[in-house]
Amino acid sequence: MTEPELDVHREPADTAAALREDVRYGFSAAQKWLPAKWFYDARGSELFEQITKLPEYYPTRAEREILAREADEIARVTGAPTLVELGSGSSEKTRLLLDGLRSSGTLKTFVPLDVSASALEEAVTAIRADYPGLDVRGVVGDFTEHLGLLPGGPPRLVVFLGGTIGNFLPAERSKFLRSVRDVLTEGEWLLLGTDLVKDPDTLMRAYDDAAGVTAQFDLNMLRVVNELLGADFDLSRFTHESYWDADNEWIEMRLRAREEMTVRIPGADLTVRFADGEYIRTEISAKFRAAGIAAELAESGFAVQRWWTDEQNRFGVSLARA
Ligand code: AVJ
């Protein structure tokens, strides 16, 4: 099979340069941290796909339940000829939306955008095979940087699923929503998936599963730093933890040093010291309430038209009009 041609806004050299900046910035902070996007090389994307199938990780199933139930309604309300997916990964749940839009007869173009070229290639190949006649334009890029370049005819439906918006800090989140609103023209659409606040136990277990897949996913970020920047992180000297921050209503993933150590990161011209027990924050995953999401969307220039949750009220999906 031939490789699908992708529209590449991020080359490997840019990737290493971007990681270098994030490493220099994040490791010089009092609380060391790295942005969650660095989980997703080929192995990380694969591990995330495994996470979505774990018994403890409910968000994927809960969101799929909503999309299966509402796909026809979403197609009817939006009548969109173009579906743009930000952070598309495998695009597995998105097929429900493609099916809805296709049977309502409006669908022409699908634009999946992801930082992981390997995940995108696989998704584009599979979707082209299963949706003959659909114009599929894969874009390798970072949705915090490459929003202005999205192809496809209006009214576009931009979807941001899985609760990935929860990876932004609140200030970045509103900046991001505004930047999406800015590239849309009036009457275009945003479909936003958000994980909801629930009991801490359920949340903690979703981010620290019994089989240890999430731990491998978390540690993979250090492997990515080793690979791209020639660092010498010893993964066996860190442990994965999930932590519920009740004040901020977000989950944190942390990699905690089991002992004191020094790590060399030549590609970032950096030597980093860790105290015994010091941790790196690798992800925040914010959990939402219905009223909060509606307010944030409104502040960013969107009008919420529909709001759905799954039967157990674990996950919410908003359909908003620009
Ligand atoms: C892909 C960002 C939605 O925050 O739940 C899964 C990533 N991290 N397990 C999430 C993730 C740990 C996931 N998102």
Section 205-221 average pLDDT: 98
Q: Positive or negative CA dihedral for 55, 251, 283, 312?
A: positive
Q: Residue 149: its pLDDT value, please?
A: 67
**What is the C-alpha to C-alpha distance for residues 294 and 57, in angstroms, rounded to an integer?**
25
Dist CA 321 CA 73 (whole Å): 15
pLDDT value at position 24?
A: 98
Higher pLDDT pick, 164 / 13:
164
Task: State the amino acid at position 149 in one-letter form.
Answer: L
Which of 283, 284, 288, 317 for a ligand 1 pocket mutation test, highest count of atoms within 8 Å of Cβ?
A: 283
Residues within 6 Å of ligand 1 by CB: 51, 59, 162-164, 166-167, 207, 214, 253, 283, 285
E strands, the chain, where? 7-8, 82-86, 109-114, 135-136, 139-140, 156-160, 189-195, 238-245, 250-257, 261-265, 270-274, 279-286, 303-309, 315-321
**pLDDT beyond 90 at 8:** no
CA of 160 to the centre of ligand 1 (A): 13
What φ, ψ does residue 68 adopt, rounded to 5°? -60, -40
Evaluate if residue 52 carries a pLDDT over 90.
yes
Q: Is the pLDDT of residue 9 over 90?
A: no
- pLDDT at site 32: 98
Query: Region 79-98: what's the mean pLDDT?
Result: 93
Predicted confidence band at 11 (pLDDT cuts at 50, 70, 90)? confident
Check whether 245 has a pLDDT greater than 80: yes
pLDDT on residue 6 = 85
d(CA 285, ligand 1 centre) in Å: 7
Give the pLDDT of residue 1.
47
State residue 2's pLDDT score: 55
195 CA closest ligand 1 atom index? 5
Q: What average pLDDT score do residues 215-222 get?
A: 98
- To the question of pTM greater than 0.90 for the whole model, the response is yes
Share of the chain above pLDDT 90, in %: 87
The annotation places the binding site for L-histidine at 57, 167, 207, 283-285
Percent of the chain with pLDDT over 70: 99
What mean pLDDT is reported for the chain?
A: 95
In the predicted structure, residue 86 carries a pLDDT above the cut 50? yes
User: Per-residue pLDDT tens for 248-302?
Assistant: 999 999 999 999 999 999 999 999 999 999 999 999 999 999 999 999 999 999 9
Band of residue 3 on the pLDDT scale cut at 50, 70, 90: low
3-class SS of residue 277: coil
Torsion of CA 178, 115, 252, 21, to 10 degrees: -90
Neighbours of 50 (CB within 10 A): 15
Is the pLDDT score of 148 beyond 80? no
| Amino acid 151: pLDDT | 81
| 3 state SS of 79 | coil
* Confidence grade of residue 201 (pLDDT, cut at 50, 70, 90): very high
pLDDT of residue 145: 76
Binding-site residue positions: 57, 87, 93, 114, 142-143, 167, 207, 283-285
